[in-house]
Amino acid sequence: MGGEIQCRARLGKQSSEGKALLETSELIFRGEFRLKIPFTQMKSVKAVDGELRIAFSEGKAVLLLGMQAEKWAQKILHPKTRIEKIGIKPGVRVSLLGELEEAFRAELRESKASVTVGKVAEGSEYVFLVAGSLKDLAQSAKIARSLAGAAALWIVYPKGGKDITEGDVIASGRKAGLKDVKVVGFSPTHTALKFVVPVHQR
C-alpha cells in the first residue's frame, strides 16, 4: 500500500470527507461517494496548492491532501516497480512456493535474482508462499524454521477472498514465531504480507 489519509474529496458537484488510499495501481476514496481510479485511466495528475487534481475517464476528482498532494502525485506519475517495493536486488536468493504469476517470475529474472522454484533453498533471503487456503498457510511454520537472519517470508494471498483472509495470514505468521512488518499490493488480485524473525531472536 502506498499510503492512506483522511481528507475531503470533490467529484463534480459532490463533496465528502472520507479516506483516500493510494494502492499499487489505483487510487481509492471512500466517503459519502466512492472512487476507484486505476492509474491507467488517469488522463492528467497535478498537485496544486495542496490539492491532488486528477482528470480521468469519468470526470475530474480533487483530493485535499495538503502537504501530501505533491508526494502522491509523484507516486502516481512515477510508481515504483513491484520488485522495488519488495526490495529485491541483483543476486539475492529467492525461493518460490506455489503458483506465482509468470509476470513476477519474469521480473525476478530481469532483476538478476537467483531463483529456486518448489522448495526453500538454503540461504534464501526471500521466500514467497502463494496461499489460497488455510491448508497452504500451514507451510508457514516449516518455512519459518528455515529463515536465517533478516530473511523474509512473503505470503501472497487473494484480495477479498473468503477462503483466506488477512487475519488468517497474520495469525499464521505469528503462530510460526514471525513478525509481520510490511504489506504491499502484489497485483490487482493479490496482496503480499512480509514476515521476518523478530530481531531479538536472530
The verdict on 89 and 185 lying in the same domain is yes
Return the amino acid letter for 22: L
Is residue 89 located within the same domain as residue 167? yes
SS (H, E, C) 45-63: EEEECCEEEEEECCEEEEE
- pLDDT for 10 equals 96
CATH number at residue 59: 2.30.29.30
**pLDDT in the model for residue 2:** 57
Structural domain containing residue 124: 82-201
Using only C-alpha atoms, the chain has a radius of gyration, in whole angstroms, of: 19
pLDDT of res. 1: 45
Q: Are residues 17 and 95 in the same domain?
A: no
Q: How far is CA 127 from CA 36, 83, 113, 124, 165, in A?
A: 31, 14, 12, 7, 20
Please list, in sequence order, all residues whose beta carbon lies within 8 angstroms of the beta carbon of residue 4, skipping any fewer than 6 positions away: 19, 20, 21, 22
The span from the first CA to the last CA of the chain, in angstroms, equals 27
| Alpha-carbon distances of 50 from 31, 47, 53, 70, 131, rounded to whole Å | 19, 6, 9, 7, 40
* 102 shares its domain with 146: yes
Query: Which helix (H) or strand (E) segment is 30 a member of?
Result: strand 26-31
Last residue of a domain, one of 77, 99, 118: 77
Whether residue 122 sits in one domain with residue 66: no
89 and 9, same structural domain? no
Q: Residue 24 has what pLDDT?
A: 76
* Run of H or E residues at 21: strand 14-22
Residues 94 and 67 in one domain: no
**145 and 49 assigned to the same domain:** no
**Angle at the Cα of 24 (from 35 to 66), degrees rounded to 5?**
60
User: Do 73 and 113 lie in a common domain?
Assistant: no
pLDDT of residue 94: 95
The residue out of 77, 101, 122 marking a domain boundary is 77
Asked whether the beta carbons of 165 and 152 are under 8 A apart, the reply is no
Are 19 and 109 contained in the same domain? Answer: no
Q: H or E segment at 106?
A: helix 102-110
Same domain, 189 and 100: yes
With contact defined as beta carbons under 8 Å apart, do 164 and 158 qualify? yes
Distance of CA 149 to the CA centre of its chain: 23
Give the predicted TM-score (pTM) of the model: 0.70
Point out the domain boundary residue: 77, 95, 114.
Answer: 77
The domain that holds 103 is classified in CATH as: 3.40.50.150
Task: For residues 42 and 101, state if they share a domain.
Answer: no
pLDDT at 199: 83
Total of domains in the chain: 2
Residues lower than pLDDT 70 in the chain: 1-2
